[in-house]
Amino acid sequence: MNISIDGDLEQAVPIVQRAADLLEVTRLDEIINELSRDSQNEIRSILLKRAEAILADEAEDERWERQRAA
């Protein structure tokens, strides 16, 4: 992640630390709800594609394991 902060480093450190703290306690759905509808739809599309890929990989692994066991 790239962050650009104008000003001196002493002011930047607490801002970056607070942002990191917020990331630890903020749920993804809270962040997504702040985005535009188009951005929300794009994120959901990406997550669905990744989920499909994971399921396909798991199915392939299961097929391979069954073939190996046979």
Q: Is 27 helix (H, G, I), strand (E, B) or coil?
A: coil
Give yes or no for a contact between 32 and 43, defined as CB atoms under 8 angstroms apart. yes
Residue-by-residue pLDDT tens, the chain, 70 positions: 565 656 677 777 888 888 888 878 888 888 889 999 999 999 999 989 999 999 999 999 999 999 999 8
Torsion angle defined by CA atoms of residues 13, 18, 19 and 24, in that order, rounded to the nearest 10 degrees? 130
Closest by CA to 34, choosing from 21, 25, 43, 24, is: 43
pTM: 0.56
